[in-house]
């Protein structure tokens, strides 16, 4: 077991990693493995449930003995309803439920701070360590540095020939490994990306939105269809680095403010800031169109897709919505639809 890894299951970007970093541990976002069937998880979860959540549970079955503990952060129904299944069937020395608010009212902010304090205490007690306010401030600084480098790299997408999957793998890696090491690697990536050829003239510039993408193959499909993602609002993407954690005297207060300021996913109320963020992207960056998608059985994003699509259609911005299966295999029907969308652009 790697005593320093705290794995977490979240359905967007809800978990405050900085608390784990402050405990001198490594936060590891469980992302599942699309190439492996979720056979064990399927004994406990119906196949009509979100396949990503099932895959994440499968990874926990395979890997939990490598982790010091697991935290499940509230997001969509899969997180709160499936926590109990984890509790019954996953072997781990530490399983913790972290409740994040769905609302953005005053009471939600107060509640979130209480939950942060409880999380700090739970980690301190379980691992016999101290998480000081200073250590959280240091973790926030590190996190902010990572966010700002990721943003710089992200901005290069519209200028240089950076494949969809290279961008995706770069952001993803920053969520999985030791964060100091991650920062170093990201800084080294900047000159490499800066020296890449110019943005390819045969590619269309698109915004990618919807359910989180957790495997590179989907990003490859977009490239194959001639669509280059130059902006997004995904959790392995801009949601993770678009905003900085504010610098407040009380670092827990900083984390509270951050939680409510980052690009909002569909699992929250109000959901309108999600559309606001997408609109701001379209205003800031020259794009040819938007690809909206939801993973099969992902309800929160499927609900919002009609509204998001109609909002952009009304503005005359080309947009397509797709429902995708959880698979690493090339879905030719999907590719055909994306190619047709490209031609329409």
Partner 1 sequence: MVQSETKEISQNSTSSQQKKIHIRTLKSNKYLKRLMACYFFKAKIYPKIPWKYTAWTTSAFPVEMLWTYDIFPLHPENSATVAAARKLSKGLIEYAEGLGFSRDLCSYFKTNIGAYDKKIRTTYGGIDKPDFICTTGTICDTHVKWFQTQGRRMNVPVFIFDLPHQVAGCDEKTLKRYENYIVDQFYEWNDFVYDITGKKLKKKRLENVVRKSDRLCQLWQEIYSYRKKKPSPLGFNDTFAQIFPLVILPGIDAGIKYYEKVLAEIKDLAAKGKGVVPNEKYRLLFEGIPFWYRIKFIFELAQLGASIVYEPYTWAFGPRKPLGLSADEYLHAFARMWLQQPYYYNLDRRIEYFKEVIDEYSIDGVILHNNMSCRPNSTGMLDLKKMIQREIGIPAIIIEADMNDPRAYTEAAIKTRIEGFIELLEANSK
Instruction: Decide if residue 63 touches partner 1 (CB under 8 A).
Output: no
Tell the smallest beta-carbon distance from residue 211 to ligand SF4 (Å). 4
Q: How far is the CB of 64 from partner 1 (least distance, A)?
A: 17
By a kind-dependent CB cut-off of 5 to 8 A, residue 211 interacts, out of ligand SF4, partner 1, none, with: ligand SF4
Dist. CA 79–CA 138, nearest whole Å? 29
Nearest in space to 100 (alpha carbons), one of 135, 138, 71: 71
What is the nearest approach in angstroms of ligand SF4 to the Cβ of residue 305?
A: 12
Strand partners, 231: 207
Contact residues: ligand SF4, CB under 6 A? 11, 50, 52-53, 76, 78, 211-212, 267, 295, 298, 300-301
Interaction between residue 101 and partner 1 (CB under 8 A): yes
Residue 238's contacts (CB-CB under 8 Å, 6 or more residues apart) are 154, 231, 232, 263
In the chain, at which residue ranges do the beta strands (DSSP E only) sit?
2-9, 26-29, 67-73, 95-98, 204-210, 227-232, 289-295, 319-324
Answer with the entry of partner 1, ligand SF4, none that 68 interacts with (C-beta below 5 to 8 A by kind).
Answer: none
CB 238 within 8 A of CB 154: yes
**Residue 302: which of ligand SF4, partner 1, none does it interact with, CB under 5 to 8 A by kind?**
partner 1
User: Quick one: 40 exposed, middle or buried, by C-beta within 10 A (0-12, 13-18, 19+)?
Assistant: middle
103 is a site residue for partner 1 (CB under 8 A)? yes
By CB under 8 A, is residue 269 in contact with partner 1? yes
H-only helix segments in 128-196: 133-156, 164-173, 179-194
Residue 76 contacts by C-beta under 8 Å, 6 or more apart in sequence? 11, 12, 50, 267, 298, 299, 300
Is 115 near partner 1 (CB under 8 A)? yes
Q: Which is nearer to ligand SF4, 309 or 345 (CB)?
A: 309
105 binds, among partner 1, ligand SF4, none (CB under 5 to 8 A by kind): partner 1
For partner 1, which residue of 178, 223, 323, 339 counts as binding (CB under 8 A)? 323
CA separation for the pair 208, 189 (Å, rounded): 23
Residue 48 binds partner 1 (CB under 8 A): yes
Least distance CB 300 / ligand SF4 (angstroms): 5
Are residues 33 and 289 in contact, defined by beta-carbon separation less than 8 angstroms? no
In degrees rounded to 5, what are phi and psi of residue 277?
-65, -45
315 contacts partner 1 (rule: CB under 8 A): no
Pairing of strands 227-232, 319-324: unpaired
Can you give the binding site for partner 1, defined by CB under 8 A?
43-46, 48-50, 74, 76-77, 80-85, 87-88, 97, 99, 101-103, 105-108, 110-111, 114-115, 118, 266-267, 269-271, 294, 296-297, 299-300, 302-307, 309-310, 321, 323
């Amino acid at each position: 077991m790697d005593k320093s890894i705290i794995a977490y299951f979240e359905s967007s970007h809800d978990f405050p990693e900085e608390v784990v970093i402050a405990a001198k541990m490594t936060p590891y976002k469980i992302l599942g493995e699309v190439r492996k069937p979720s056979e064990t998880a399927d004994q406990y979860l119906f196949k009509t449930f979100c396949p990503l959540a099932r895959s994440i549970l499968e990874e926990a079955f395979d890997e939990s003995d490598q982790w010091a503990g697991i935290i499940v952060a509230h997001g969509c129904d899969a997180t709160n309803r499936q926590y109990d299944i984890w509790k019954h069937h996953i072997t781990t020395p530490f399983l913790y439920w972290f409740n994040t608010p769905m609302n953005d009212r005053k009471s939600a902010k107060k509640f979130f701070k209480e939950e942060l304090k409880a999380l700090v205490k739970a980690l301190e007690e379980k691992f016999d360590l101290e998480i000081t306010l200073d250590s959280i401030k240091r973790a926030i600084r590190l996190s902010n540095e990572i966010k700002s480098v990721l943003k710089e790299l992200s901005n290069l997408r519209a200028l240089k020939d950076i494949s969809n999957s290279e961008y995706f793998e770069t952001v993803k890696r920053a969520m999985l490994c030791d964060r100091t090491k991650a920062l170093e690697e990201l800084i080294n990536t900047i000159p490499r990306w800066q020296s890449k050829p110019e943005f390819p003239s045969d590619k269309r510039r698109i915004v990618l939105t919807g359910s989180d993408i957790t495997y590179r193959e989907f990003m490859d499909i977009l490239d194959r269809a001639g669509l280059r993602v130059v902006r997004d609002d995904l959790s392995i993407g801009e949601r993770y680095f678009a905003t900085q954690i504010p610098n407040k005297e009380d670092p827990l207060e900083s984390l509270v403010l951050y939680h409510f300021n980052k690009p909002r996913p569909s699992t929250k109320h109000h959901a309108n800031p999600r559309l606001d963020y997408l609109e701001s992207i379209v205003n800031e960056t020259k794009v040819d169109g938007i690809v909206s998608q939801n993973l099969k059985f992902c309800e929160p994003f499927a609900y919002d897709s009609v509204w998001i699509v109609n909002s952009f259609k009304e503005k005359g911005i080309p947009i397509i919505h797709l429902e995708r299966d959880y698979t690493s295999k090339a879905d030719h029907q999907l590719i055909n639809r994306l190619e047709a969308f490209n031609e329409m652009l």
